[in-house]
Amino acid sequence: MPDKVLLLGIDVGTTGCKAVLIDDAGQAVADATHEYPLSTPRPGWSEQNPDDWWKAALESIRAVLAQKGARGADVRAVGLTGQMHGAVLLDRAGDVLRPAILWNDQRTAEQCDEITRRVGAERVVRLTGNPVLTGFTAPKLLWVKQNEPELFAQTTATLLPKDYVRFRLTGERFGDVSDASGTALFDVARRRWSDEMLEAIGVPKSWLATITESPEPSTRVNAQAATQTGLAAGIPVVAGAGDQAAQAVGSGVVREGIVSATLGTSGVVFAASDRYRVDPRGRLHAFCHAVPGMWHLMGVMLSAGGSLRWYRDTLAADVCDRARREARGAYELLIEQAAEAPAGCEGLTFLPYLTGERTPHADPHARGAFVGLTLRHNRSHLTRAVLEGVTFGMRDSLELMRELGLTIERVRASGGGARSAFWRQMLADVFGCGIATVNVTHGAAYGAALLAGVGAEVFPSVIEAASIAVQELDPCVPREDRSDYEAAYRRFHALYPALAATFHD
């Protein structure tokens, strides 16, 4: 028998659509993911068919209802999250005009420069909390206007990815403050669309979704979608959040002082803020949070776990062979090896800029390097230097947050790297604060389900929902004497300015 209260979270990701059902205690009771393809019609381009998102959402919703043996009427509310920044263009009939241009598409460098010239670099950061980046939505719309004018002339609406799925669920165009913050069209301080940014690219405000706070029940499942999904018509659909903000809700990063550090292929440092803070140089992202009345700061490094994967595949093939023979994980063996070297690697430093960098340098030409090699160094030093370089790179984001007056009490670590007790201790020592993991492993979809619970009044607030559902695990504290890491971090911090001209040459 299904629980009395079920809440549904849907995550429209880059590789697939995930659905998660949770109960009123925050316990995940069913989950399902259905994948879809990614198209790269030209180098640097990245597109998807929005109809694929909808078909995958249908399959995932039906799958979780079947897993739980639940009726559609057992679901109290739906929350949405998904990949940010994408551009879906609709005509007057609500039909999609072209494949969606995604967050990782790089075709819009000229449009970013043009928007920045029109508005002014400092003014852009003051208005939107960020510089105009190729991943964001505004330059995509300007690119279509300049390169596909016939399609642009047919456009009457533009939606972000999760909000297109909402459109198919409800027939209405709504969005939320956190996802809108990543468009370069949103006044992040005032939590509303920016007339000035819209005028700069020539997009009417009527094209844009109505924006509300993340847990607000803005729309309801319509009869057609109810038939397709198995949900009941009239179920409220809350505004939801962009994937990073929803992930933070699902990790309990919902008040100032709590920070998340995600060690995946990329590395993300995310901090809740009780007021609008913006780095005047735009080195940190400043977005509205999914918690009403709060904002968040975010730093992104492009090659975090990706650096260790490169090292494994390029310089540690024998470790992979040994892992297969011993039926163990290659990363587990590499980290055991790293532990044999002392903190600071006796002067060896690794720069993890293998694919350029975003925070704090925003430099696509930044490059990776081992610096300080001597005859003294062996494999264990090289391996540990990679781990330390990634950790130092993530500390750069923390230091920028501290410069803006943010107090950092504790960090909640997630991602593949956080499974290592050795790496978690390194994080605690380098960051200078306590580190813990959390009991939740369902990602942004789980956060979306919690937001649905707030909108349905199952939970009184986002903060209360997170406190009920999220518990810390595996706590560790920094060592008293961390001078070895402090000296190593100073060396790391000095290297990019010293080498930047060489990278650009």
Q: Which pLDDT does position 355 carry in this prediction? A: 86
Residue 289 included in any domain:
no
Q: Which pLDDT does position 364 carry in this prediction? A: 83
Integer Cα distance of 68 and 126 in angstroms: 47
Total structural domains within the chain: 2
Asked whether 435 and 424 are in contact (CB, 8 A), the reply is yes
Number of Cβ within a 10 Å radius of residue 476: 17
Same domain for 397 and 482?
A: yes
Integer Cα distance of 35 and 57 in angstroms: 10
Cα distances from 431 to residues 63, 156, 368, 399, 453, in angstroms, run 42, 48, 22, 9, 34
- What three-state secondary structure class fits 339? coil
Same domain for 340 and 236?
A: no
Asked whether 290 and 178 are in contact (CB, 8 A), the reply is yes
Cα distances from 315 to residues 78, 308, 326, 333, 372, in angstroms, run 46, 10, 19, 14, 18
Residue in 74, 243, 279, 396 annotated catalytic = 243
Same domain for 497 and 410?
A: yes
Longest dimension (CA), the chain: 71
Residue 290 included in any domain:
no
**DSSP bridge partners of 8:** 21, 78
Same domain for 340 and 359?
A: yes
Amino acid at 182: G
Which residue from 143, 28, 159 is spatially nearest to 82, judged by alpha carbons?
A: 159
Per-10-residue mean pLDDT, the chain, length 505: 79 96 96 95 94 98 97 96 97 98 92 97 95 94 98 98 98 98 98 97 97 96 98 98 95 95 91 95 95 96 92 92 92 95 97 92 91 96 97 97 94 91 96 95 94 98 96 94 96 96 92
Q: Which pLDDT does position 249 carry in this prediction? A: 96
Residue 263 included in any domain:
no
Distance of CA 445 to the CA centre of its chain: 12
Asked whether 484 and 342 are in contact (CB, 8 A), the reply is yes
Q: Which pLDDT does position 265 carry in this prediction? A: 85
Same domain for 78 and 223?
A: yes
Pairing of strands 434-438, 267-273: unpaired
Same domain for 245 and 319?
A: no
- For residue 60, give the H/E element and its range: helix 50-68
Task: Report, in angstroms and rounded to the nearest whole number, the Rg of the chain calculated over CA atoms.
Answer: 23
Which residue from 387, 305, 393, 304 is spatially nearest to 341, judged by alpha carbons?
A: 387
Asked whether 128 and 184 are in contact (CB, 8 A), the reply is yes
Q: Which CB contacts under 8 angstroms, 24+ apart, belong to 493-497? A: 493/392, 493/396, 495/349, 495/351, 495/369, 495/371, 496/351, 496/353, 496/361, 496/366
Pairing of strands 75-82, 174-176: unpaired
Cα distances from 129 to residues 124, 178, 179, 187, 247, in angstroms, run 7, 12, 13, 8, 20
Amino acid at 259: V
Same domain for 218 and 363?
A: no
Amino acid at 298: M
Structure-token pair, residue 438? 């959390």
Integer Cα distance of 164 and 172 in angstroms: 9
Same domain for 345 and 359?
A: yes
Q: What is the CATH number of the domain that holds 348?
A: 3.30.420.40
Same domain for 52 and 154?
A: yes
Residue 460 included in any domain:
yes
Q: Is 243 a known active-site residue?
A: yes
Q: What single DSSP character describes residue 107?
A: T
Integer Cα distance of 202 and 115 in angstroms: 11
Residue 13, C-beta contacts closer than 8 angstroms, at least 6 positions apart: 82, 83, 243, 444
Q: What single DSSP character describes residue 214?
A: T
Asked whether 109 and 134 are in contact (CB, 8 A), the reply is yes
Alpha helices in 120-171 (DSSP H): 121-128, 137-147, 149-154, 161-170
Residue 327, C-beta contacts closer than 8 angstroms, at least 6 positions apart: none
Same domain for 118 and 200?
A: yes
**DSSP bridge partners of 437:** 473
Residue 274 included in any domain:
no
Same domain for 313 and 445?
A: no
Integer Cα distance of 343 and 381 in angstroms: 9
Distance of CA 141 to the CA centre of its chain: 22
Integer Cα distance of 381 and 396 in angstroms: 22
Residue 272 included in any domain:
no
My answer on whether omega of the bond before 360 falls inside 30° of 0, hence cis, is yes
Residue 339 included in any domain:
yes
As to burial, measured by CB atoms within 10 angstroms (0-12 exposed, 13-18 middle, 19+ buried), residue 126 is: middle
- Structural domain boundaries enclosing 492: 301-439+473-504
Residue 256 included in any domain:
no
Task: Give the chain's count of helices (H) and strands (E).
Answer: 18, 24
Q: Which pLDDT does position 1 carry in this prediction? A: 41
Pairing of strands 241-242, 75-82: parallel
Q: Which pLDDT does position 104 carry in this prediction? A: 87
Same domain for 168 and 311?
A: no
What beta strand segments (E) does 254-348 contain? 258-263, 267-273, 285-288, 295-301
Structure-token pair, residue 399? 């230091």
